[in-house]
Amino acid sequence: MKKYYYLLIAIIIGIGFFSSKQDVKAETINDNWIEKAQLPEERVFSSSAVVDGKIYIFGGGDVAGRPQAQTFAYNPEKDSWEAKSDMPTPRIGASVAVIDKKVYIIAGRSTSGTVKKVEVYDTEKDTWEEATDFPKKENWENTTSANVINNKIYVVSYSENKKQNFYEYDPDTKKWEEKTHFPKAQHSVTSDVIGEKIYIAGGYYYSNYYKEVYEYDNKTSSWSEVNKLQYAVRNPASIVFQDKLLLIGGETSNSTITNKMQVFDPKKQTVSSVSQLLPSKLIGANTEVVNNILYVIGGTNNPNRTNRAEKDFKPNYAISLKSLKELNEDSSTGKEQDNDTNKDDDVAIDEGDALLVITMTNGLQKEYDLSMKEVNAFLSWYKKRDAGEGPGFYEIDEHDNNKGPFESKKDYVVFNNILMFEVNKYKK
């Protein structure tokens, strides 16, 4: 009977198995993620915004890494895409801000290098116009991050000397004003607004990955370091929900793309891991929220070519933010404990047994009938290894699955060969 139970589980997993290169729209992937209508074309480091319940995707890089100018609009209610007017200037890695149903596209890299141009898209008229140029020309793409407070745009940028790297734009006067400089020389950060404060997290600078979280108080025009992430990351995507900052994917140390998410709660000053993982490891994706649904669109899962889109990889993942307990519950512990990556993120439940199903990058699936204590040990290793810590392989005891005249048999699973895994808990 037990054999048929395993067979049934394998069939279910086989039906729901997700390949990063599939061309057709799927239903449920795993951990409450749904795959929606795919992005019309492959894109990495495009810009995005939400206006009137529609998600707009601007430009980005194609499979050759070339900056594009196309604008696409996604309607979540109809689960469909529509082409809109192209940007006047193709660009990749630009920042974006929204005021009065107009989308401001700032900086980034075009076909002839980085640009200072600020172009404004009118979502009601489907037209473009120019605004005042950004005050300085950036060195690369992904060096600016824009936010809106009280109908003014605030842009933090990269500066080697840690000066001239934070500006305010007033759409009424059409003027930029230099503000209190951001205290670090780094780029590839993510940022969002909670209340009237801007939070900058993660980043990168000459092979250094950062985990610091900075806060800008608009009332006092001052910066301060307020916390540290659980792991350093560059180019993560982010959204705000329930006054918490959710960081999504990105690249961790050793050029490792992650499918992990972490939550910063500025009120409690805590950082915690999200139990669900992204359906794929991602960098350069767009993240937006419509009706409490998180959409993760585009990006690449190829760690060797993060500045290019991956051929036939056009994801549009969706998940209800209500299903992410770390955003809806006071599940964080303390600041010091949460910042210790050597400790488990959640309290492990060791009772019971489970079928651990590991899918390898070559499509091979391995099944292990283990105790929950053994499964949790595997999960702990995987999380630490994904953060760049610990050995590159894991030893799994096959127990009753041992076949042959052996006293014992163990499998050694290599981290870099794991595509995905599932844990199916059951009672004997």
Helix (H) or strand (E) holding 5: helix 2-16
Instruction: Say whether pLDDT at 16 is over 60.
Output: no
**Cα gap 110→137, rounded to integer Å:** 12
CATH architecture of 21-338: 6 Propeller (2.120)
Report pLDDT digits (tens) over 253-288: 878 999 999 999 999 999 999 999 999 999 999 999
What 3-state DSSP class applies to 364? coil
Q: Is 166 left (phi over 0), alpha (psi -120 to 50) or beta?
A: beta
**Cα gap 182→192, rounded to integer Å:** 15
Instruction: Say whether pLDDT at 18 is over 70.
Output: no
Helix (H) or strand (E) holding 109: strand 109-110
Report pLDDT digits (tens) over 331-368: 443 443 344 333 333 334 567 888 888 887 666 888 88
- Who has greater pLDDT, 139 or 7? 139
**Cα gap 58→49, rounded to integer Å:** 9
Instruction: Say whether pLDDT at 4 is over 70.
Output: no
pLDDT at residue number 312: 97
pLDDT at residue number 380: 86
**Cα gap 159→229, rounded to integer Å:** 23
Pairing of strands 237-241, 222-228: unpaired
pLDDT at residue number 400: 64
Query: What is the percent of the chain where pLDDT is above 90?
Result: 66
Report pLDDT digits (tens) over 155-168: 999 999 999 999 99
Report pLDDT digits (tens) over 70-107: 999 999 999 999 999 999 999 999 999 999 999 999 99
pLDDT at residue number 338: 40
Closest CA to 215 of 149, 274, 259, 161: 149
Write down the residue that tokens 């350093």 correspond to. Answer: 232
Contact 356, 370 (CB under 8 A): yes
Q: Can you list the alpha helix ranges (DSSP code H) found in 230-353?
A: 325-328, 335-338
Instruction: Say whether pLDDT at 11 is over 80.
Output: no
pLDDT at residue number 409: 75
**Which residue ranges does the chain devote to CATH 2.120.10.80?**
21-338
pLDDT at residue number 254: 79
**Cα gap 85→296, rounded to integer Å:** 23
pLDDT at residue number 408: 65
Amino acid at 418: I
pLDDT at residue number 413: 87
Average pLDDT value for residue range 131-148? 97
Least confident segment among 57-61, 147-151, 217-221, 342-346: 342-346
Average pLDDT value for residue range 193-214? 95
pLDDT at residue number 334: 40
The single-letter DSSP state of residue 133 is: P
Average pLDDT value over all residues in the chain: 87
Q: Can you list the alpha helix ranges (DSSP code H) found in 266-405?
A: 325-328, 335-338, 372-386
Write down the residue that tokens 């204590």 correspond to. Answer: 373
Segments of 5-75 assigned E as strands: 34-35, 47-51, 54-61, 67-75
Cα four-point dihedral sign 255, 341, 194, 242: positive
Rg (the chain; Cα; Å): 22
**Cα gap 359→25, rounded to integer Å:** 21
Average pLDDT value for residue range 288-294? 96
Cβ atoms within 10 Å of 47's Cβ, excluding its own: 27
pLDDT at residue number 171: 97
pLDDT at residue number 89: 98
Contact 261, 273 (CB under 8 A): yes
Count Cβ neighbours within 10 Å for each residue of 129-160 and write b for 16 or more, e otherwise: eebeebebebebbbbbbbbbeeebbbbbbbbe
What 3-state DSSP class applies to 139? coil
- Who has greater pLDDT, 301 or 337? 301
Amino acid at 344: D
Adjacent-strand bridge partners of 105: 96, 119
